[in-house]
Amino acid sequence: MSRIRAAVLGSPIEHSLSPVLHRAAYQELGLGERSYDRFEIDEAALPGFLAQLGPEWAGLSLTMPLKRAIIPLLDEISDTAASVETVNTVVFTEDGRKVGDNTDIPGLLAALGEQGVQKVESAAVLGAGATASSALAALARICTGEVTAYVRSEARAAEMREWGERLGVDVRTADWSRAAEALAAPLVIATTPAGATDELAASVPAAAGTLFDVLYDPWPTPLAAAWTHRGGKLLGGLDLLVHQAVLQVELMTGCPTAPLAAMRAAGEAALRARH
């Protein structure tokens, strides 16, 4: 049986644009027989869901809270995923193995590279958690100096310093009460939930550098809007989502090149329709 099914799992999941992007890719590639769905699945339901999947499944995309919960249920994970203990992609092989990968890290790098951000002398990360660790892994390849992570607890701070040591990144941590200081960095990566950075919008400096705000709905965030007003370079969650989805499509279909432009256009149209 052909492996023609895929889906995104998470909770909540209704907001996910992944079906829009993957279906646009299938249409552009002439893969009309393939399907891509979304399922509301939490950590408790994940083992049962995986167990009932048949041989028609090609792969899965994973969002919160499943990016680490999935790991014990897999047969192997890539070095990239292992480096941050975070899996956002599962590919089912012909021999029935479940292989985990992480396309967020190369997706972050590809999105930054598309905007001409190849190297930075220092950077700031707002928040902690799975996306923040992926951001550190990306920064390990392009940041030549110190990364400062702004977090809300000492436990989170210790976690980010540990990730820095593992990834070979010089990480300094600071309390969230000082988060406005982050905005002076040449590259700021905001990994926090909706609303968390709204209070920082009034503190955007006159000479703003590059902000990568990983949210895409609602968009723009108050911080992103203020950044644009100051003339800074801005990347949003759709940039990350599209670039990581391109890699997922290639992994799940075996096609060497996914249609980036068509996927981006579909995502932009879907966001416009929502608002």
Enter the tokens of residue 167.
């990834």
Q: Which residues pair with 6 in a beta bridge?
A: 36, 59
Q: Strand 210-213 vs strand 233-235: parallel, antiparallel, or unpaired?
A: parallel
Asked whether 58 and 6 are in contact (CB, 8 A), the reply is: yes
Assign residue 231 a region (left: φ > 0; alpha: ψ between -120 and 50; beta: otherwise): left
- Catalytic residue ranges: 67
Residues 6+ apart with CB under 8 A from 44: none
CA angle 22, 26, 27 (to 5 degrees): 115
Two structure tokens written together for 42: 């939490």
